[in-house]
């Protein structure tokens, strides 16, 4: 598979809408592996790099640019209608994509997303980054310098104007132990018409890695609705 192609594509066994899974800052597409294994065969699955976070790129990019580039990449994959599930910074990119391209996004699942990153969350992220072993970052193909730059871009993002334009049915998820993320999750749910908020008890901020079984069940329930 060439570097420009999304990771882990699977061929559908039925006409279910393809599902695109977007990782967060500090993660790589492989962060979705446990979820992909559980959903394998149910629909076409794609886990692309979020634009600006690929290790070979020289800089992270603003949310608007990341959204536009992602839409172009997905259309080059032949997708004209898709479901989106996204984590962390990926959730902010997904929200902007759903707002800008309602023709492309059928359903939207946001995990640990924010409308704009509060100072409290920024402080928590900075503290976690200082404590994070370099070896763990190396597994995701990033350095502390690159991750710091990506978090700085995320701190400047603001989706306030995008939320009223999201037309896709939306499920907002947040871990019960993710106290820093719960205010952001509620702001997303309040700002998107008809959005539902679900707190996953006992889970932390990275549901795709920490609670893949629970996330798989929630995805099936939400995405398989008529």
| Predicted TM-score of the model (pTM) | 0.83
Estimate the crossing angle of helix 63-76 against helix 89-100, to 10 degrees.
70
Range of the domain at 82: 19-223
Confidence of residue 226 (pLDDT cuts 50, 70, 90): confident
Q: Cβ contacts of residue 88 below 8 Å, gap of 6+?
A: 23, 24, 25, 26, 27, 111, 112, 113, 205, 206
Return the higher-pLDDT residue of 51 and 134. 51
The pLDDT of residue 225: 83
- For residue 14, is pLDDT > 60? no
The pLDDT of residue 5: 46
Burial label, 13 (beta-carbon count in 10 A; 0-12, 13-18, 19+) = exposed
Residue 56 lies in a domain: yes
Residue 154 lies in a domain: yes
CB atoms within 10 A of CB 167: 16
Q: How many domains are there within the chain?
A: 1
Return the higher-pLDDT residue of 87 and 119. 87
Pair of tokens at residue 173: 């998820």
Kindly report the CATH number assigned to the domain that includes residue 48.
3.40.50.1820
pLDDT digit string, tens, across residues 19-76: 999 998 878 999 999 999 999 999 999 999 999 888 888 888 899 999 999 999 999 9
pLDDT digit string, tens, across residues 172-181: 999 999 988 8
Residue 12 lies in a domain: no
Residue 1 lies in a domain: no
Residue 153 lies in a domain: yes
- For residue 3, is pLDDT > 50? no
Confidence of residue 6 (pLDDT cuts 50, 70, 90): very low
Return the higher-pLDDT residue of 106 and 6. 106
The pLDDT of residue 4: 42
């Amino acid at each position: 598979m060439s570097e420009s192609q999304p990771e882990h594509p699977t061929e559908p066994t039925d006409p279910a809408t393809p599902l695109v899974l977007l990782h967060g800052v500090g993660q790589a597409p492989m962060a979705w592996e446990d979820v992909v294994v559980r959903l394998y065969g149910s629909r076409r699955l794609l886990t692309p790099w979020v634009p600006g976070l690929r290790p070979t790129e020289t800089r992270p990019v603003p949310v608007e640019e990341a959204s536009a580039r992602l839409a172009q990449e997905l259309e080059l994959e032949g997708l004209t209608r898709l479901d989106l599930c996204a984590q962390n910074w990926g959730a902010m990119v997904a929200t902007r994509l759903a707002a800008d391209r309602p023709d492309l996004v059928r359903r939207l699942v946001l995990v640990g997303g924010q409308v704009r990153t509060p100072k409290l969350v920024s402080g928590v992220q900075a503290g976690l980054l200082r404590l994070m072993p370099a070896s763990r970052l190396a597994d995701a193909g990033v350095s502390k310098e690159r991750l710091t730059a990506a978090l700085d871009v995320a701190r400047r993002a603001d989706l306030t104007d995008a939320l009223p334009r999201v037309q896709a049915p939306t499920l907002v998820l947040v871990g019960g132990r993710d106290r820093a993320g719960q205010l952001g999750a509620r702001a997303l749910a309040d700002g998107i018409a008809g959005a539902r908020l679900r707190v996953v008890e006992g889970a932390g901020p990275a549901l795709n890695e920490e609670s893949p079984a629970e996330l798989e069940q929630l995805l099936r329930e939400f995405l398989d609705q008529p």
